[in-house]
A and B are shown apart, each in its own frame.
Chain A
Amino acid sequence: MTKITYRNSSIAAIVLLFLLLSPLQNKIDLQRKQMGFEQRLLLMPGQITGSLILGGFKGLAADLLWLQVEELFHSGQSYKMLPILRSVTFLQPKFVTPWAVGGWHLSYNISVMVKDHPEQEKAWIQAGVDFLKEGISYNPERYDLYFELGWTFFNKVKNYAEAVKYLELACKFPRPDYIDDALAHAYEKNGQIDRAIETWKKIINSGNSFSPTAVRMLHNLKTYGSTIVPEKK
């Protein structure tokens, strides 16, 4: 084979292979999009995380930022950790812990810091709710954030109708036993006593680890008309 023939056949083979590669790359891109693989780039000049992201190690960058969030939390610098928390969720939106912990910080810890200003307190609680809702939009196929949001509505906002809505959604996915118990309590608080009794009965029949609690709750409901035992005078 002459040099020219060899060169031409090499080029032809390379072009042919690239022609195969291009549609395959399109298919891979489409599948990555369908699977929700994040295509997000966050550059933080002067920070090691920026270099890690450049090298394709987004997860590692998110971990380092998460460690910073932990450090700031333990040193009581809740405000400072918010932008970093945002960066973590931006880099790895499918990592549910930052969404859950971030929502909790906003609704509970920061809102308590401004409890002397009810308007501000309300705004921080709402910020936590919005943060969790955003997290759900990235992770709609898991129980975690539905539960966190339902619990925030139940325990902090005291909006039991919304609590029921999100705890019911949490119960549509594989979940720990306490979620069903929380839902039963939300039903009760929302005035849906029949649904609460039905849920506790289900807990007892399914062998859920919260069965003893469910038995006690049903007993209290029948005896006192409430799950809370009245204090003896």
Chain B
Amino acid sequence: MVKAIVIAKNTFQEALRMRSYQIILVFALLLLGSSQLFSFLTPVEQLKMIKDVSLSGIEFFSALMAILASMTALRSEFETNTISTLLSKPLKRSDFILGKFLGMALVTTLGVVIMSVVFIGLILFKQHSFEISLFSALFLIWAEMLVIIAITLAVAAFASTAFTLIFVFFLFLVGHLTSYGFSLSGEMKNPVLQVIIKFFYNIIPNFENFAIRDQVVVGGTIPITYLLKTFGYGIIYTAIALIVCLYFFRYREV
């Protein structure tokens, strides 16, 4: 575990130095600031737009950071062959993967926290108070990022950089649409097809579970039970992805 923490610390420092991470963070902060452009709207509409743009921006840019940084963190070790040096030391492969995951989780958490502070500051500036439910939305965005990091590491453990990038980004989009696909399957008359769709519905990560922005921005409250269930879902999915990652990494020739 100590070795995993050392790897995590190193991964964290490396990711912070990544140009793409810094650029994405700057873009995200610019986007948050640009939500001020809606000042021509009524105050209620303006606040709704600021919350929508900011929460969507935080989710999108965090996902982008998580995918790019996690992929680079693992793939760069393979491409520069530093992995051989590392694994020649008394370091377990599981510690290496756990360290990479923890490091990326830290980097992404930092990104989400920075963007959240700016967002909450913006809301405080505009309405002099903020709803607790905004934190629920931010919390689930963070939980979603843990799943994305684990999936990216799992794919990067066996696939090329380009494939990892395309696959995970595609999965991010599909993961937001599985609910629609599943609800459409209710209209189908073929039971075999329904079973197949149900199977894929359970296999593909359902990122829509984490999307509570639309409810939060219109003043909806989110029960704590929902947050716990969704967080539990995220943790289980993260565990699955890490097991897959470990499996492929364990037997990888380095």
Contact = CB atoms under 8 A, between A and B. Distances in A.
Q: Give the most central of A13, A27, A60: most B CB within 10 Å.
A: A60
A35 B220 CA distance: 9
B184 to A, nearest CB: 9
A170 to B, nearest CB: 16
Interface string B46-63: 001100110110011000
B5 interface: no
Nearest to B233: A24
Contacts of B179: 29, 39
A56 B177 contact: yes
A67 B45 CA distance: 10
A94 B41 contact: no
Contact of B214 (A20, A24, A27, A94): A94
Interface in A44-69: 54-60, 62-63, 66
Contacts of B208: 56
Query: B52, B183, B212, B236: which has the most chain A beta carbons within 10 Å?
Result: B52
A95 B218 contact: yes
A232 interface: no
A35 B227 CA distance: 13
Nearest to B57: A60
Interface in B197-254: 201-203, 206-209, 211-215, 217-220, 222-223, 225-226, 229-230, 232-233, 236-237, 239-240, 243-244, 246-247, 250-251
A10 B94 CA distance: 13
Secondary structure of the A side of the interface?
helix
Nearest to A11: B247
A24 B236 contact: yes
A134 interface: no
A228 interface: no
Given A6-B250, A97-B45, A31 B52 contact: no
A14 B243 CA distance: 7
A74 to B, nearest CB: 10
B220 A57 contact: no
A94 B215 contact: yes
A18 B241 CA distance: 11
Given A35-B223, A70-B41, A97-B48, A59 B214 contact: yes
A113 to B, nearest CB: 23
A72 interface: no
B180 interface: yes
Interface residues of A, number: 40
A10 B242 CA distance: 10
A39 B182 CA distance: 10
Contacts of A94: 214-215, 218, 220
B173 interface: yes
Nearest to A26: B202
Contact of A59 (B56, B222, B246): B56
Nearest to B45: A97
Contacts of B177: 41, 54, 56
B176 A56 contact: yes
B44 interface: yes
Most buried by A among B59, B179, B180, B225: B179
Task: State the 9 A-B residue pairs at the shortest beta-carbon distance, nearest first.
Answer: A56-B176, A59-B52, A10-B247, A59-B214, A94-B218, A60-B56, A41-B180, A22-B202, A57-B56
23 contacts: A3-B251, A6-B247, A10-B243, A10-B246, A14-B244, A18-B202, A21-B236, A21-B237, A24-B232, A25-B209, A29-B179, A32-B209, A35-B220, A38-B214, A54-B176, A55-B172, A55-B173, A56-B173, A56-B208, A58-B214, A62-B52, A66-B49, A94-B218
Given A28-B226, A59-B214, A96-B218, 12 more contacts: A13-B243, A18-B240, A24-B233, A25-B202, A25-B233, A29-B179, A55-B173, A56-B173, A56-B208, A57-B60, A66-B45, A92-B218
Interface of A: 3, 6-7, 10, 13-14, 17-18, 20-22, 24-25, 27-29, 31-32, 35, 37-39, 41, 54-60, 62-63, 66, 70, 92, 94-97, 142
